[in-house]
Structure 1
Amino acid sequence: MALGDSLTEGVGDPVGDGWRGWAALLADGLAEGAVEFTNLAVSGSQTRDVLERQLPAGLALRPDVVSVVIGVNDTLRCTFDIRAVAARLDAVYAAFTEQGAVLLTACLPDPGAMLGLPGALSRPLARRQRAVNAVVHALSERHGAVHLHASEGAWLTDRAMWSADRLHPGERGHRQLAVRFHAVLAERGLARGTAPSPEPEFPAPTKSASLWWLATAGTGWMARRCTDLLPQLLTLAADEMRHRARGTSARLDLRASAAVSAALAGLSVEPDAA
């Protein structure tokens, strides 16, 4: 079973009239026989959505293996609160592991860098994503999750791995995630089926198709995000530039680290685990 947002829903890996994605590719390689796979991920979801909407449906089906990959959309909202993110993830992870499910988690790349935003705009998003990743690392260790460091590796800078929007993997990228997850699971004896192929099954979208996506669905997606995030992001950017001008940028990093430590301490997780 898979929970999460557009990444896990499969956006960027179209098959027929829908999306496939890394989780579906991975499911096929978990066992030698048939595997029943349910994808509860919904594009645009935040940690609140996973906790309140996806978790109840997931627990009712009692999965043997469950992936919970979420957090980027939280960083893109003006309501971002690392304490709330930590508390929600802790509750979701605990609920599945208490049922005996194998839990899969991943840290994710910085959305500002993936979108190619200017430094003053990208640095606040990078700081937020690092905070989310630190929380995911600590909670993954606490709950014994199988964790994938998806925020690292050469695949991040390989344009062939990414779709037209530069934020979601293309088919090659989704396959890369599935291959890497399968390898980690196989090392632990938890994946006994054939590993997913890293090679794409379908031709990459043409340049015209990519431009059409950006001009239609991509434009709408960006407009929705900008309406919510842009005012605060501009405020964060102004704060960033003031600190850089004064030579005090380190204070912003220290502030973010302190927030992560406080969030983890509130859950009785040692901050050093991050």
Structure 2
Amino acid sequence: MRALRFAALGDSLTEGVGDPVGDGWRGWAALLAPALAERPVEFTNLAVGGAQTRDVRERQLPAALALRPDVASVVVGVNDTLRRTFDIHAVAARLDEVYAALARRDAVLLTACLPDPGAMLGLPGALAGPLARRQRAVNTVVHALSDRYGALHLHACAGDWITDRALWSADRLHPGERGHRQLAVRFHALLAEHGVATGAAPSPEPEFPPPTRAARLRWLATAGTGWVARRCTDLLPQLLRLAADELGHRARGTSARLDLRASAAVAAALAALPAGERQDATRAA
């Protein structure tokens, strides 16, 4: 019997940032892989830190299709919301292309909606509001396209796991080992419910002790500061303008207009996509 092939596409979340093992990262997808089947599993992690939907479509998708995966995960979108070039129409079109291509190859497709980065970072309301609106837009697109292509979708944008600091790394944007294990366990349960995962569930218990406070502060002062600086250089000027707009609408009592505008943009983005056939989420891997 041949090995089951699992390809993971996405950004730093799927790359495994926050779950260090040796000189690299492990993460939820690597924890999930051996639990997919009792037979051997060939796991390929194509995810790259900082990836946007454009990177997944242009670079990761061709590599994934060449692997002819039985199971493929696509978890991406947060980095799009953190760029001044954010365009929900482009995000929807790219995700539609990625999902459709994998579905046509009869891969079981895994997707997830993600929490709002502004809230995770604890940004002030006027700064967090625009980011939250963007993430809600991406999540709405992911929900709609997951339904269209029969993906097994994990609702990871809300719940107790987001507020449990023990599950998150020092940067507040990536899960720590406990958080990655929580994602692996939840994805496995979803797959098992649909008869796809037949191996034993991943353990939710951490293998390594959590980083000390000193280690977390050291990370924030070095790699973490660089991470924030790289994104602020791109986003901050626009985010400040969006925050000023947010405050202006609040002062006039017209904040609902911003939500309506965002909802209309999502609806238009989805309406502009080519018609696609609904796929069956329970295809056997």
So what's the TM-score if we normalise by structure 1? 0.97
Q: What amino acid does structure 1 have at the position aligned with 2:87?
A: D
Deviates more, 1:28-37 or 1:166-175: 28-37
Query: Which residue of 2 is the match for residue 208 of structure 1?
Result: 214
Q: What amino acid does structure 1 have at the position aligned with 2:65?
A: L
2:249 to 234, 243, 248: 243
Kept after mapping to 2: 8 A contact 1:142/1:269: no
Q: What amino acid does structure 1 have at the position aligned with 2:191?
A: L
Question: Does 2:38 align with 1:32?
Answer: yes
Residues 150-182 of structure 1: per-residue CA shift (max 9 Å, x gap): 102100000000000000000000000000000
Q: 1:101-140 alignment to 2 at 5 Å?
A: 101-140=107-146
Q: What amino acid does structure 1 have at the position aligned with 2:20?
A: P
Residues 129-149 of structure 1: per-residue CA shift (max 9 Å, x gap): 000000000000000100000
2:264 to 245, 250, 258: 258
Q: 1:75-224 alignment to 2 at 5 Å?
A: 75-224=81-230
Residues 191-232 of structure 1: per-residue CA shift (max 9 Å, x gap): 000101111010001111111110100010010010000000
Kept after mapping to 2: 8 A contact 1:13/1:20: yes
Aligned CA-pair RMSD: 0.9
C-alpha distance in structure 1 between counterparts of 2:255 and 2:76, whole Å:
28
Question: Does 2:24 align with 1:18?
Answer: yes
Q: Structure 1 unaligned runs (5+)? A: none
The alpha carbon displacement at 1:32 in A equals 1.1
The alpha carbon displacement at 1:33 in A equals 2.5
Question: Does 2:64 align with 1:58?
Answer: yes
Secondary structure of the residue aligned to 1:201 is coil
C-alpha distance in structure 2 between counterparts of 1:116 and 1:68, whole Å:
26
The alpha carbon displacement at 1:264 in A equals 0.3
Secondary structure of the residue aligned to 2:35 is coil
Q: Matched residue pairs, number? A: 270
The alpha carbon displacement at 1:269 in A equals 6.4
C-alpha distance in structure 1 between counterparts of 2:210 and 2:200, whole Å:
24
Q: Structure 2 unaligned runs (5+)? A: 1-6, 277-285
So what's the TM-score if we normalise by structure 2? 0.94
Query: Which residue of 1 is the match for residue 12 of structure 2?
Result: 6
C-alpha distance in structure 1 between counterparts of 2:202 and 2:237, whole Å:
42
Secondary structure of the residue aligned to 1:68 is strand
C-alpha distance in structure 2 between counterparts of 1:262 and 1:269, whole Å:
14
